[in-house]
Chain A
Amino acid sequence: MDDKDALVAALMKKLTREKRARELAEKQLEQYSLDIYNTNTELQSSLLKAERNQTELKFLNDISSEISSDTSINELFNKTLSLISTFMESKYGYYIHVLDGEKKLSGQIAPPDCDGSHASALYRQLSSFLDIDVKNVSHRWLINVFEHEEFPDIHWLLSTAVSIKENEALWLVVPYHQDILDEEYLYVLDTARAQLKTGLNRRINEAKILTRNRVLQETIANLESARKQLIQSEKMASLGQLAAGVAHEINNPIGFIQSNLQTLKEYTKDLHTYSDKIGSAIAENTADDGFHQSLKKKLDIDYIFDDVGDLIDSNLQGIERVSEIVLGLKTFTHGGNEKEFISVKINEVIEQSLKIAWNSIKYDYTLNNELTELPAIQGNPGQLQQVFINLFVNAIQAMPEGGTLSITEERLSNAFIINVTDTGMGMDEKTLNQLFTPFYTTKPVGEGTGLGLSISYAILEAHNVEVNVRSEVDKGTTFSLKFLLDSGA
């Protein structure tokens, strides 16, 4: 019986323990439920936050895409305004251009059902409400409480501006409809604003670079035209130097042509006398062979007939000589279009150049022209002639005591070289270094322009011709011009 009682008592206690354990377990369960509920709530809020972050990221990403696109400043601001209005779930948005205190509405967002008058009325209200000006540009978004009976659904005005110049700024104004404005939105908007500013600066810089490029291109065009003028002036200056020599050169044939003509005039008189006397003798019937022979001998008619042919030949040669010189001068002075390259026989160019410079050469100098027939090249004959005349004249001027001007050639597989060598005073290193410098001259003031060789160099460069100069003081100078055969110049 005692055992039974003890067992019952133990069972009762076990029951109490079990009850207690169940209560504890239930409590624990409730705690678990609460924990789960809390966890769920947290999860939901995290999800909402994640969704919002996603929206914010998408918004910033869209802004970035706009910033990095090639749209104009106006398009950029209109697009950004539209993105911000969508992001802030605003029905309105305004993009205002401020220049010298003048406000101009450059873009606006309005609800699709709005006839425009409502949006315009709101613009009037907010533009008197906000201090939209170039002075009032902050680096953040400005937030103003907005209360107006006509627009009961607008509680805030968000505005920001970026400066373009001291007197010019662009404003964005977005009305906000919610009662409470979350601070986080402002961080996102500030980021968007910073991006917008970067995009604007980039566009302004690009515009500046474009302007600079245009100015540079104009400068280049001006320089090009100045260069052309310079070449022409130099040509004229060289021509001036040559004029005296050329005049002499032309004078010579003209002199002997004149003298020949004088002689021919005398001969004509004699021939007239001869004819008259024979006519009279025939009329008087006194003409016989004796008379005729004696008259011929007296008037030297046989000699006249011989000499007339020689004189006419000599005159024709003289005239030929003059017209050759004139032709050479014409080629030389012809401005032409330097870009127009034609097939040029360099031997002919050198012949023409020698003719023009011949007067200077023929008395005191020996010409040693060893050129054989060279292949044709592409080039401008007038310009090349200018180069060779310049080289020949320089060579002669380097040999005031007389000497030898040699023109020789070297053949390479893809090029040929023409060497113009004088036996003159040569040049020191200083002069050599400055040889192609514009306006550098060793000649007395008033004689050289200092442009000859620099222009020659420019011409040769345009022809893809390599120039090499070797010089030794008191020995002479050699200019080597290397013409490439496949230059295509």
Chain B
Amino acid sequence: MKGVVFVQFADFIEENFGLLFWDQVLEVVDPPSGGAYTTVGTYPDEEFLSLLSHICEVKQLDSGDAQVMFGRWLFEKLHAIAPPGNKAQGDPFAFLRRVQDVIHVEVKKLNQDAILPEFRFISETDTCMTMEYISPRHLNRFCEGLILGLGDYMSQPLEVVHKQSILNGDPASIFDVIKKG
């Protein structure tokens, strides 16, 4: 997983639970990197998952809900560092398509080893887009958080309904993204 996620995750935990808590988390989990994350580095997925699972345990949070919270918070940060021309504007559905068709392609050019999720768009109306989320990481809820963050940024409240999930034994992970209000 790219370093930027870890750096932002550290900020997110510090912002919500304080420096002392983050320090204690690192103390207990003792990740191989020692928590010295840089945006230019790449770190094992397990490191993120063990940090997340420890935090949920201590704070008595649902892991899925925590992923949604972090994703929703992270969207704006990631968006801020995105190169010009790839900013979210207009329709959120159009931006989601752009993520799959342009942004992921560009990321792949720069980082050939990057593991990126794939979106397959099944249907789209003015208010509802049905899409399949394909990723070996199965971070379905984290993806939901990022989509909600997109809605926040564009002032278009969105809801994500998990119609099917590989995590629940379904053959695929399929979301309905619904425009609210």
Chain A residues within CB distance 8 Å of chain B: 6-7, 9-11, 13-14, 16-22, 24-25, 28-29, 32
Name 24 interchain pairs, CB-CB below 8 A, sorted by A. A6-B20, A7-B19, A9-B23, A10-B19, A10-B20, A10-B23, A11-B19, A13-B26, A14-B23, A17-B26, A17-B35, A18-B36, A19-B36, A20-B34, A21-B36, A21-B37, A24-B36, A24-B41, A25-B38, A25-B40, A25-B41, A28-B38, A28-B40, A32-B40
The answer on a CB contact under 8 Å between B40 and A29 is yes
Q: Which residues of the other chain, B, contact A28 by a CB distance below 8 angstroms?
A: 38, 40-41
Interface of A is mostly: helix
Closest Cβ of chain B: how far from A10's Cβ, in Å? Answer: 4
Closest to B36 in A: A20
Per the CB 8 Å criterion, the residue count for chain B at the interface is 12
Chain A nearest Cβ from B110, distance in angstroms: 12
Q: Please name the residue on chain B nearest to A28 by beta carbon.
A: B40
Contact mask B20-36 → A, CB, 8 Å, 1/0? 10010010000000111
Given contacts A17-B34, A17-B35, A20-B34, contact A7 B40 (CB under 8 A): no
**Cα distance A481–B57 in the bound complex, in angstroms:** 121
Neighbour of A21 across the interface among B20, B23, B26, B38, CB < 8 A: B38
* B72 nearest CB across to chain A (Å): 25
Cross-chain contact A22 with B23 (CB below 8 angstroms): no
Complex-state Cα separation, A29 to B23, whole angstroms: 27
- In the bound complex, residues from chain B placing their C-beta under 8 Å from that of A18 are 36
List B residues 31-78 near A (Cβ within 8 Å). 34-41
Nearest A residue to B35, CB-CB: A17
Is the pair B38, A22 in contact by a Cβ cutoff of 8 Å? yes
Bound-state Cα–Cα, A255 to B34, Å? 152
Interface residues of B (CB under 8 A from A): 19-20, 23, 26, 34-41
Which residue in chain B gives the minimum CB-CB distance to A20?
Answer: B36
Not counting A17-B35, A24-B36, A28-B38, a sample of 7 additional A-B residue pairs whose C-beta atoms are within 8 angstroms of each other reads: A10-B20, A10-B23, A11-B19, A17-B36, A18-B36, A21-B36, A25-B41
Point out the residues of chain A lying under 8 angstroms from B26, CB to CB.
13, 17
A6 contacts which chain B residues (CB < 8 A)?
20
Count CB-based A-B contacts (< 8 Å).
37
For the complex of A and B, 8 pairs with smallest distance between CB atoms: A20-B36, A10-B23, A25-B38, A21-B36, A17-B36, A21-B38, A28-B40, A10-B20
Q: What residues of chain B lie closer than 8 Å to A25, measured between beta carbons?
A: 38-41
Complex Cα gap A25–B6 (Å): 14
CB-CB under 8 A from A16, the residues of chain B are 36
User: Which chain B positions have C-beta within 8 A of A14?
Assistant: 19, 23
- Looking across the interface, which residue of chain B has its beta carbon closest to that of A19? B36
Residues of A within 8 A of B20 (CB): 6-7, 10
* Chain B residue at smallest Cβ distance from A22: B38
Residues of B within 8 A of A11 (CB): 19
* Closest chain B residue, CB of each to CB of A29: B40
A20–B3 Cα gap in the complex (Å)? Answer: 14
B-side contacts of A22, CB under 8 Å:
38
User: Whole-angstrom distance from the CB of B44 to the nearest CB of chain A?
Assistant: 15
Residues of A within 8 A of B41 (CB): 24-25, 28
* Chain B: minimal CB distance from A443 (Å): 99
Chain B positions within 8 Å of A13 at CB level: 23, 26
Q: Please, which residue of chain B has its CB at the minimum distance from the CB of A32?
A: B40
Task: Note all chain B residues with C-beta closer than 8 A to A9.
Answer: 23
* Set of chain A residues within 8 Å of B35, measured between Cβ atoms: 17
Taking the closest CB of chain B, its distance from the CB of A46, in whole angstroms, is: 19
Closest to A14 in B: B19
Nearest Cβ on chain B to A300's Cβ, whole angstroms = 142
* Nearest neighbor of A11 in chain B, beta-carbon distance: B19
Complex CA distance for A28 and B2, rounded to whole angstroms:
13
Closest-by-CB residue of B relative to A17 is B36
Question: Which residue of B19, B26, B37, B38 has the most chain A CB atoms within 10 A of its CB atom?
Answer: B38
Interface centre among A7, A21, A32 (most CB of B within 10 A): A21
CB distance from B7 to the nearest CB of A (A): 8
Minimum Cβ distance to chain A for residue B32 (Å)? 13
Chain B nearest CB: distance from A375 CB in Å?
Answer: 88
Closest B residue to A12 using CB positions: B23
| A6: nearest chain-B partner, CB-CB | B20
Q: How far does the alpha carbon of A22 sit from the alpha carbon of B38 in the complex, in Å? A: 7
Bound together, the chains give a CA A32 to CA B26 distance in angstroms of 29
Residues of A within 8 Å of B34, CB to CB, are 17, 20
Residues of chain B contacted by A10 (CB below 8 angstroms)? 19-20, 23
Q: How many angstroms from the CA of A11 to the CA of B23 in the assembled complex?
A: 9
CB-CB under 8 A from A19, the residues of chain B are 36
How far is B20's CA from A11's CA once the two chains are assembled, in angstroms? Answer: 8
Q: Which of A16, A19, A28, A29 counts the most chain B CB atoms within 10 A?
A: A28
- Cα distance A16–B35 when bound, in Å? 10
Bound CA span A152–B85, Å: 63
Q: Complex: how many Å from CA A421 to CA B34?
A: 126
In this complex, what residue of A is CB-closest to B19?
Answer: A10
The distance from the CB of B111 to the nearest CB of chain A, in whole angstroms, is 12
B126 CB, nearest partner CB in chain A, Å: 45
Closest chain B CB from A288 CB (angstroms):
157
Complexed CA–CA distance, A14 and B23 (Å): 8
A18 to B40, CA, bound (A): 14
Q: How far, in angstroms, from A9 to B24 measured CA to CA in the complex?
A: 11
Q: Shortest distance in angstroms between B39's beta carbon and chain A's nearest beta carbon?
A: 8
Residues from chain B with a CB closer than 8 A to the CB of A29 are 40
Query: How many angstroms from the CA of A11 to the CA of B19 in the assembled complex?
Result: 8
A260 to B40, CA, bound (A): 144
B43 to chain A, nearest CB (A): 11
Q: Give A28 to B34 CA distance when docked, in angstroms.
A: 17
* A17 to B38 Cα, complex, angstroms: 10
Most buried by B among A9, A19, A24, A32: A24
Identify the interface centre among A9, A19, A22, A25: most chain B CB within 10 Å of its CB. A25
